[in-house]
Amino acid sequence: MTESDLPVVDFHPYRWGDPAHATHLPDAARDTLAAFGVKTPTQPPVEPEAVLLPAITLDPETLAALAAVVGAGHLRSDHEARVAHTRGWSTPDLLRLRAGDGTDAPDAVAYPGTHEEVVALLELCAERRVAVVPYSGGTSVVGGLAPLRAGFAGVVAVDLKRLDAVLSVDEISRTATLQAGLRGPAAEAALREKGYTLGHFPQSYEGASIGGYAAARSAGQSSAGYGRFDDMVVGLTLATPRGTVTLGSAPKSAAGPDLRQLVLGSEGALGVITSVTVRLRPAPAERVYESWRFASFEAGADALRKLVQDGQVPTVLRLSDEAETSVNLADPAAMFGGGPGGCLAVTGYEGTAAEVAARRAGATAVLEAAGGELLGTEGGEAWRTGRYRAPYLRDPLLDAGVLIETLETVTFWSGLHELRAAVTAALTDSLSGQATPPLVLCHISHVYETGASLYFTVACAQTEDPVTQWQAAKSAANAAIRACGAAITHHHGVGTDHRDTYAEEIGPLAVDALRAVKRALDPVGILNPGVLVRSLADGD
Ligand SMILES: Cc1cc2nc3c(=O)[nH]c(=O)nc-3n(C[C@H](O)[C@H](O)[C@H](O)COP(=O)(O)OP(=O)(O)OC[C@H]3O[C@@H](n4cnc5c(N)ncnc54)[C@H](O)[C@@H]3O)c2cc1C
């Protein structure tokens, strides 16, 4: 399972990915879970057909007007389309849908086929006070697809899947203009045909799309070498209720603040990104992935810091803490088992044979000097080929009664260990009280000269009310992140889940500035109300 051989498939509303890759827990894993106090929920998940949806509040005349913009076959308000666009892919999102709760479903889903249709839809929705949820791949894990309804005539999801073309490739400048609804694997396949790669491989690669990468400032697992998605974007087109904004007439400019960066990360609150122009890299001729062992997380983190500050940076660089090292997430049977000790790191090198050789030699020297033990290519290759499998594990674990979820944050190197300790303690304290304490695993997922992001995976037995159980743990983690002065998100975004903590992080004046920009582009406040910033319908 590598990025080149994953097809684009429609997902089940709450089961991840291609059904052909669905994972089942082996009996041994079930026995292990039972020994750790995990009980299979008494109620199996509600089938999507039986999810309870709110009544449609949009009147027939508005639905007809929306259909007139996109064409009758491209507006749906049937049960299936509404369930498929209900919230995103956080564990609480999935738990609520599994319990049959479809309260956040949109009234209708519009599938525009052109940028002009998106603008016309937004103009119409502003006129009639209809809230709009921009929807690319639908993999948001921060409540970015569950806007507030209050104060609006209804909610329409604008699904960009028909905007899925590679509009142009400029081989001289090495850029491509891609439409927002192009899914990760389709974009990569089209670029590989011409000998290029985007180099953007988030773990949600099978589901997420170009527009969502831009709107939520995604970071792929190869960010050390290829950069984050916001590093790749050189231009974009934004549809707003007041018309079109086109940005990026040159790679860099000194004209005012970089407004591209204002749109990147705007999470549908300022407009709908319909296309982006991204820089390309040549498709790698060679790839080498290796694994390393360090005596401790502190030793490994120190080695990674030295490498990114003074060394030759690999394409992929990550380090698991002791707990994560001891758990092989690709093997559920080993989930609660012991491990070989120390901390494992993965280094991956991609490029021409000469580039790979040079960077590998440089990085190896730094990591060895910092105490790392090179374990060879087997573990690195296993990570590379297995990395898209982990999201498939969540479904059988939820079925079995495990509460499993992830969260991430980022800080400067000097505060990294304090942050890991504080978040680990907050999650552990909040989720203790069961027969068995929770598993709290952490790895360094993205590195910079000045700091790194920490990615936590949490697993424990579900209580009777796992949504509330997780919300309490997540609030405790958020408070710990704030207390350490770290950022509330590195790559998942703000959505509704992080909005209030984000407001605390940037302060009221910055929030006012953001809301003023929103007011300029979206005066009625129809775009994703309550996502990123407080809804304009809440007043000033
Ligand atoms: C299993 C799993 C693994 C993940 N791994 C990663 C990872 O490795 N790295 C990472 O960065 N993220 C990851 N995520 C989070 C998520 O995939 C990213 O945030 C991704 O960028 C979202 O893309 P999408 O196309 O699914 O966007 P969506 O979920 O459709 O949208 C995300 C937000 O942007 C808005 N939006 C969508 N399209 C547009 C548009 N065209 N214009 C304006 N606003 C828009 C939406 O309203 C929403 O608020 C993961 C999620 C899951 C479920």
Contact assessment for residue 409 and residue 482, using Cβ atoms and an 8 Å cutoff: no
Q: What is the DSSP string of 45-76?
A: PPPGGG-B-PPP-S-HHHHHHHHHHH-GGGEE
Task: Give 266 Cα–ligand 1 centroid separation in angstroms.
Answer: 12
Above 80 in pLDDT, residue 331?
no
Task: Give 532 Cα–ligand 1 centroid separation in angstroms.
Answer: 13
CA-136 nearest atom, ligand 1? 30
Exposure pattern of 198-213 as b/e (b: 16+ CB <10 Å)? bbbbbbbbbbbbbbbb
Task: Give 214 Cα–ligand 1 centroid separation in angstroms.
Answer: 8
Phi, psi (deg, nearest 5) at residue 67: -65, -35
Average pLDDT over residues 231-256: 97
Task: Give 17 Cα–ligand 1 centroid separation in angstroms.
Answer: 15
Residue 328's pLDDT band, with cuts at 50, 70 and 90, is low
Above 80 in pLDDT, residue 539?
no
Above 60 in pLDDT, residue 289?
yes
Report the C-alpha gap between 166 and 187 in whole angstroms.
7
Above 80 in pLDDT, residue 327?
yes
Average pLDDT score, the chain: 94
Output the CA torsion sign for 115, 121, 126, 127.
Answer: positive
Above 60 in pLDDT, residue 330?
no
Task: Give 201 Cα–ligand 1 centroid separation in angstroms.
Answer: 12
CA-493 nearest atom, ligand 1? 19
pTM of the model: 0.96
Residue 434's pLDDT band, with cuts at 50, 70 and 90, is low
| Residue 500 to residues 10, 149, 503, 511, 528, Cα–Cα distance (Å) | 33, 18, 5, 10, 15
Instruction: Report the nearest-CA residue for atom 45 of ligand 1.
Output: 268
Task: Give 498 Cα–ligand 1 centroid separation in angstroms.
Answer: 14
Average pLDDT over residues 59-73: 96
Instruction: Report the pLDDT value the prediction gives residue 341, as an integer from 0 to 100.
Output: 74
Above 70 in pLDDT, residue 312?
yes
| Best mutation site among 85, 135, 273 for ligand 1 pocket (most ligand atoms within 8 Å of CB) | 135
Average pLDDT over residues 51-55: 98
Instruction: Report the nearest-CA residue for atom 33 of ligand 1.
Output: 267
Strand 108-110 to strand 154-159: parallel, antiparallel, or no bridges (unpaired)? Answer: parallel
Report the C-alpha gap between 160 and 214 in whole angstroms.
13
Average pLDDT over residues 11-27: 91
Q: For 165-183, write each residue's pLDDT tens digit.
A: 999 999 999 999 999 999 9
Strand 130-135 to strand 154-159: parallel, antiparallel, or no bridges (unpaired)? Answer: parallel
Name every protein residue with a CB atom under 6 angstroms from any ligand 1 atom. 88-89, 133-141, 144-145, 160, 180, 202-204, 207-209, 211-213, 215-216, 218-219, 221, 267-268, 272-273, 391, 491-493, 495, 528, 531
Closest of 254, 258, 260, 221 to residue 237, by C-alpha: 260
Task: Give 139 Cα–ligand 1 centroid separation in angstroms.
Answer: 5
123 contact partners, CB below 8 Å, separation of at least 6: 241
CA-213 nearest atom, ligand 1? 21
Instruction: Report the nearest-CA residue for atom 47 of ligand 1.
Output: 134
Above 90 in pLDDT, residue 9?
no
Exposure pattern of 339-367 as b/e (b: 16+ CB <10 Å)? eeebbbbbbbbbbeeebbeebbebbbebb
CA-88 nearest atom, ligand 1? 29
Report the C-alpha gap between 530 and 536 in whole angstroms.
8
Task: Give 33 Cα–ligand 1 centroid separation in angstroms.
Answer: 31
Closest of 136, 126, 455 to residue 276, by C-alpha: 136
Task: Give 361 Cα–ligand 1 centroid separation in angstroms.
Answer: 36
| Residue 489 to residues 125, 320, 423, 456, 497, Cα–Cα distance (Å) | 31, 19, 13, 12, 11
Contact assessment for residue 225 and residue 350, using Cβ atoms and an 8 Å cutoff: yes
Average pLDDT over residues 453-473: 96
Instruction: Report the nearest-CA residue for atom 11 of ligand 1.
Output: 218
Q: For 332-374, write each residue's pLDDT tens digit.
A: 434 433 445 799 999 999 999 999 999 999 999 999 999 999 9
Strand ranges, E, within 148-218:
154-159, 166-170, 175-179, 196-197
Contact assessment for residue 335 and residue 32, using Cβ atoms and an 8 Å cutoff: yes
Q: For 104-133, write each residue's pLDDT tens digit.
A: 999 999 999 999 999 999 999 999 999 999
Looking at the chain, the whole-number percentage of residues with pLDDT higher than 90 is 88
Instruction: Report the pLDDT value the prediction gives residue 333, as an integer from 0 to 100.
Output: 38
Instruction: Report the nearest-CA residue for atom 48 of ligand 1.
Output: 144
Task: Give 523 Cα–ligand 1 centroid separation in angstroms.
Answer: 25
Instruction: Report the nearest-CA residue for atom 34 of ligand 1.
Output: 267
Above 60 in pLDDT, residue 193?
yes
Q: Tokens 């068995």 correspond to what residue? A: 436
Instruction: Report the nearest-CA residue for atom 44 of ligand 1.
Output: 268
Contact assessment for residue 342 and residue 372, using Cβ atoms and an 8 Å cutoff: no
Report the C-alpha gap between 181 and 165 in whole angstroms.
8
Looking at the chain, the whole-number percentage of residues with pLDDT higher than 70 is 97
Instruction: Report the pLDDT value the prediction gives residue 264, as an integer from 0 to 100.
Output: 98
Q: For 481-504, write each residue's pLDDT tens digit.
A: 999 999 999 999 999 999 999 999
- Which residues, in sequence order, are bridge partners of residue 155? 131
Contact assessment for residue 153 and residue 170, using Cβ atoms and an 8 Å cutoff: no
